[in-house]
Amino acid sequence: MDQVPSVILGLCSYTHDSAAALLVDGELIGFVEEERLSQEKHTHEYPRRAIDWLLDEAGLASGDVDAVAYNFRPIQYLLESPAALGLAVSSTTRNRALPRAAGFAKVAVRTQRRLQALGRSFPGAGISSIPHHRAHQLTAFAASGWNESAVLVVDSLGERQTTTIAHAHRAARPIIRTVESIKDPASLGYVYGAVTEHLGWHRGDEEGTVMALAALGDPARFRHLFARAVPTTSTGFAVDPVYFPPRVLASGYPRTSRRFIDETCPERHQSEPLQDVHQDLAAALQERTEQVMLHLARRARMITGSRHLCVGGGVALNCLSIGRIVEGNIFDEVFVPPAPGDAGTAIGAAVAVHTDSGSQKPVAGVARACYLGPSYPDQALDLTPYPGLQQKTLSIEVAEFLADQLAHGLIVGVFQGRVEAGPRALGNRSILASPLQPGVVERLNDAVKFREPFRPFAPMVLAERAEEFFTLGQEAPYMSLASGVTDNARKHIPAVIHANGTSRLQTVTSSQNPFMHEVLRAFARRTGVPVLINTSLNVKGKPICGTPAMAIDCLANSGLDALLLEGRWVTR
């Protein structure tokens, strides 16, 4: 690149979880997943709406973009093709060798064409392809704000890599060096997705459902199978192709083997009832995932010497595994960014181009930031399509009013401020409820979210009072960590405790979210408990509501009692 770029557009596009981020002179203007604006969950479409909003927010046009950073590097896919041919040596993997080689080559060509298409969309910009795991690493580390950290990235696949351990310095001017990596077909994300699909849910979307189901099962039934299927090694782990055949980047190639089916259970159709065997299979998968993640964390500690750990990649969304790492006391603190999955790599890719350009301007607006998307403070509400709804503008103290409604048992959607980054609602696009109301979990699952009855709900808690109810011992601002609970929690708020005795909590400070902090304080004054149930403002199968129209539709088509939308109270 001949000159230091000022305006850098980071993209995750053409794969699941399309998103965009914009850096101007190193400062993050914003970030948003396309699904929050398009209403298509996990969309792979070019993030046109996200890009339009970002440029409008910055007062720029597409011609002002100096550089576009894409979150994959095509040549890395191509390098896997000759390696894949080595699978022909073994009778277990021989039938996957040629299609695997062809699939990786095809994706390399397709990714290169996507880069060319981006060049046509932004003819005045330099187009850079960033290795996928490097984008993950930079997203996680820059968001931490730390001066130094180990960085562990675990996902399904990034070109050829599935797991990397890196050592990072200076979050404002990040320098990251990968010190160890594991390549496909050894992939923890691949295994978890394969079993998710086997159990009748959609991989890449409903792994969290399997994690929740695991709490109801007995891992002992399939413990030895997963120990054989995913053995740990001195430098990480492996995956036995006898149980999980090597990935082929094309449809029609099952991810589980006939032996896996024979030793566990037949594939479950989503309409079939859950049985004990399904719960036990989920439990054993989750147990092994936690064991492998703990092993990788110890490895990261040993080879970097760091007392801090950042975790990124799709497997970082497995909050039970992250909680186990925290409880292991391997590190002084563990950090997961608000968007650890592929969408968040739009930020990391942009940061990579900024730092590689030699710019002397620090990265700003990324550290400890999660409310990064659009806001709609003054937009008029059109309730014409919903004759049963009515609205009023609140002239009283809104936080006090909301806390009072919640204390009286209402389930309320909250739409205020900028859209959160990542898959967790953090108070700006949330459904809130009192954990003290009898039957609240059943009502939320049955009538509001329309999802499986065993799914738990997460608590949000005043950070300064978290230790009264949770044993985690560190802040959890992005709902990324599962924590043990205290006797006080068991006595007063059992609704937020899952069957395994944990809660995926969000700690709230006045600096992070002043409004929600005040709501929690007001709720505590009324009830004595500084905890609320917090789940995302959506129903099953839909993305978190990013626009007022989406939020109104959610209210109209679910069991919500009311919606607080930028100071307006909308009810039936």
Nearest to 27 by CA among 364, 484, 392: 364
Closest CA relative to residue 527, chosen from 444, 404, 410? 404
Buried/exposed code over 505-522 (b: 16+ C-beta within 10 A; e: otherwise): bbbbeeebbebbbbbbbb
Split at pLDDT 50, 70, 90, the class of 396 is confident
Q: What is the mean pLDDT of residues 365-391?
A: 94
Q: Which residue from 195, 189, 147 is spatially nearest to 164, judged by alpha carbons?
A: 189
Residue pLDDT, tens place only, 400-418: 999 999 999 999 999 999 9
Residue 2: its pLDDT value, please? 61
pLDDT tens readout for residues 133-170: 999 999 999 999 999 999 999 999 999 999 999 999 99
Rounded to an integer, the average pLDDT of 68-76 is 97
- For residue 60, give the 3-state DSSP assignment: coil
Is there a contact between 154 and 310 (Cβ–Cβ < 8 Å)? no
pLDDT in tens, 239-251: 999 999 999 999 9
- At 521, the pLDDT band (50, 70, 90 cuts) reads very high
Mean pLDDT on 106-119: 97
Residue 554 reports pLDDT greater than 70: yes
Distance CA 378, CA 398 (A): 16
Give the residue carrying structure tokens 């969950």.
Answer: 41
Residue 257 CB: number of other CB atoms within 10 A?
18
Tell me what pLDDT residue 46 has: 97
Reply yes or no on whether the pLDDT at 572 is more than 60: yes
Q: Residue 3 has what pLDDT?
A: 82
**Cα 227 → chain centroid:** 27
- Predicted confidence (pLDDT) at residue 1 exceeds the cutoff of 60: no
SS3 content of the chain, % helix, strand, coil (to 5): 40, 20, 40
Residue listed under structure tokens 């919500």: 560
% of the chain beyond a pLDDT of 90: 98
Averaged confidence pLDDT in the chain: 96
Peptide bond into 185 cis (omega under 30): yes
Q: How far apart are the first and last CA of the chain?
A: 57
Rounded to whole angstroms, how far apart are CA atoms 343 and 18? 6
**Each residue's pLDDT tens digit, 347-376:** 999 999 999 999 999 999 999 999 999 999
Tens-digit pLDDT profile for residues 287-323: 999 999 999 999 999 999 999 999 999 999 999 999 9
